[in-house]
Amino acid sequence: MQLFYAPDMTLPRYVLGEEESRHCVRVLRLGAGDPLHLTDGRGNLYRARVVDADPRRCTVEVVETFPEFEKRGWGLTMAVAPTKNVERFEWFLEKATEVGVDRIVPLLCARSERKVVKHEREEKVITSAVKQSLKAYHPVLEGMTPFRKLVARPFDGVKLIAHCDKNGPERKLLGEYVRPGDNVLILIGPEGDFSPEEVAFARENGFRELSLGQSRLRTETAAVAAVVSVAFINQ
């Protein structure tokens, strides 16, 4: 199945953007009458056919719509401190999208090594992963958000902060907090971990302390491990 991303989808006909048109006509060599699929990133999957194979403005006609295509029965927001090497953060974006995540928040922490991310570039990474993994839901990518601002804002669900400090209250594994169908928010800190003040502030705002196991994980590995664990709980 060839999947194209159409966030501004119109029915019954839609004109692909120039980049998608070129990929459709020049790379995949699709012509008039050939089938393809599109998603608006909001849960709708469209089965369509090419009606005008213009390499700059390829027009398609929708044949069938599949609403809420493969909708997950749980919610997951990942707030993650971007890594100094941006490619490692982008690896997380890709894998989290493939496994299943609703919202990603780049987190600005006291010990953050990277304080800026290029939103447009990271959106492209996510969009590419959506198409590759045949997803109908495009994760929301927020802008860089200060730790305290995120922690203090309302969230209806299970709130967890993963950290490495063994001196505070007992940290528990994900399965002891999360049940199938839960809406979950997980905070993953930078390479230097969250500061003790940040952990305390999260605790004061209703976050519970999470362990991801005995191994000491890199930021992006910890984040992917958390995403996979939530997905496994919901199988």
Q: Which CATH class is domain 75-233?
A: alpha beta
Which of 147, 234, 232, 125 lies closest to 182, judged by CA?
234
Q: Is it true that 3-66 and 75-233 share their CATH fold?
A: no
Residue 165: band (very low, low, confident or very high) from pLDDT cuts 50, 70, 90: confident
Q: Domain locations in the chain?
A: 3-66, 75-233
Which of 73, 98, 70, 68 lies closest to 184, judged by CA?
73
State percent of the chain over pLDDT 70: 100
Q: pLDDT for 71-119, tens place per residue?
A: 999 999 999 999 999 999 999 999 999 999 999 999 999 999 999 999 9
Which residues are 160's β-sheet partners? Answer: 186, 208
Whether the CB-CB separation of 139 and 216 falls below 8 Å is answered with no
CATH of domain 3-66: 2.40.240.20
